[in-house]
Amino acid sequence: MKAIFTLTVLALIFSFTSAYAQWTSTNLSEAKAQMGSAAHGSKVYFSGGYGSSGFSDVVEIYSPSTDSWETNSLSQARSFSTAVPVGNKVLFAGGIDYVSLEEYDVVDIFDTLTQTWEVANLSKPGFYVQAVSYQNTALFAGFYDVVTFSPLNMSFSNVVNIYNATTGTWSVDTLSQARGNMSATVVGDLALFAGGQTSTSTMSKRVDIYNFTTGTWSTASLSIARGFSAAVTVGNKAIFAGGTTSLNMQSNAVDIFDYETGEWSTATLSAPRSFTTKGVAACGKAFFAGGGKLNLPTFSFNAGSNVIDIYDAESGTWSTDTLSRFIVNHSVVATQNQILIAGGVQFLPTGASASDLVEIFTCESTGVSQEPDLSSTDITLFPNPAGNFLQLVSEGNESGAFRVEIFDMNGRLVKNGFLQNSADVIPIDDLNNGGYILKAMNEDQIVLKKLIKSVSH
């Protein structure tokens, strides 16, 4: 691997205020699309892609707190690699050189604590593989092969690769149905792999659900069959938005799974479109940015969108904002109270070309870090900042039995459980370093909502 070096960020291109937040921007080192993206701790990672210099091996690492960049390198230049954080590591898996149609099984693994790299391999090559993680486990699914682009000819697999970050070992499982171009997210202790293609022109409504706690699978269904949708979790809800149908039409359908009730509901986007990027969540809201019109016979986008559909998990309402560009094949990632929309193919009246712009949306917190007045109950969260465990101490009239939920700064539920008395502790050594929100409930009443200032192991 090449040594890390620091880039100087010259200036923010623009800054304006929308109805929801403050927009700013920065730039990638070059214009490119089809990057993998992930956030870990205080940094954001954009891997590989295709740009003006061809296929890239560059990993661009952005620190929002200091507005600075550094770079590193993948072991293999490629586009449509998949990036996912798990434990103290970030994995960059698979990818393709779609000029030669060579697909890759390589996985570059970056240890954020030791700042070292290692290389592993998936059980089979793949690109645009869907990856999710929970605690110290990551799942990779949606493997498929493109035999030819013109005419489009693909084959699909039901293989699931499972990585254990604690042991560094890999295992293999299977979906109930072979398919690719799914969307995936984690809510609570469940991973959901939704929709996707089962043949060149056929989409699925199947949802494969993996329970990390029990290691078992179950299935559900989307409201309509589609692939290329965008998925994200906000609070206790997993959301699957948009996509392409078997009739080669763009969809505005939204399916919402409630982890607490196990029930599904539906909604609609403001504009139908397909995605090759996930949704993201910040400040208790889900964001679906950009996307466009995908033509299945050619496997390419004919148009892009500048729309951002925003779902407020607390109120259950939708709103919109706009990007400065009409883009597809971009990368979207969230960290704390910011979302970053990076690169992609920008559509202009004169044609389409790769972009180096990173638009940064800083949202206002919905008060998740504020504490209610608890002077009469006197509940203490200890220690804070935290290390490997947390404890709730009740010195007032509360019973000491609490249901506890811990959310990351994007509003995603990452841990839950029960404390029977003040001697019980909450192990958090499986959480990534950084800030979290803890919510404690006693007899269905919220008695504590507090910012965990920093988890550090």
Higher-scoring residue by pLDDT: 248, 431: 248
pLDDT at 1: 38
Strands (E), 80-234: 82-86, 89-93, 96-97, 102-103, 106-111, 116-121, 130-134, 137-141, 144-149, 152-156, 159-164, 169-174, 183-187, 190-194, 197-199, 202-203, 206-211, 216-221, 230-234
Average pLDDT, the chain: 86
- Give the mean pLDDT of 74-99: 94
pLDDT at 412: 73
Closest to 241 in 3D by CA, of 211, 298, 280: 280
**What's the pLDDT tens digit per position in 95-138?**
999 888 899 999 999 998 899 999 999 999 999 999 999 888 99
**What's the pLDDT tens digit per position in 346-373?**
999 889 999 999 999 998 654 443 333 3
pLDDT at 387: 80
**What's the pLDDT tens digit per position in 1-30?**
333 323 322 233 333 444 445 899 999 999
- Threshold 0.95, pTM exceeds: no
Amino acid, single-letter form, for residue 226: R
Q: Which domains does the chain have, with CATH numbers?
A: 5-363 (2.120.10.80), 379-455 (2.60.40.10)
pLDDT at 444: 61
**What's the pLDDT tens digit per position in 409-445?**
766 778 877 777 666 788 888 787 777 888 887 766 6
Sign for the CA dihedral angle at 81, 85, 91, 94 comes to negative
pLDDT at 109: 98
Q: Is the pLDDT of residue 397 over 50?
A: no
Higher-scoring residue by pLDDT: 22, 230: 230
pLDDT at 410: 64
- Give the mean pLDDT of 322-338: 93
pLDDT at 159: 97
Question: How far apart are the C-alpha atoms of 387 and 130, rounded to whole Å?
Answer: 31
Question: How far apart are the C-alpha atoms of 288 and 267, rounded to whole Å?
Answer: 13
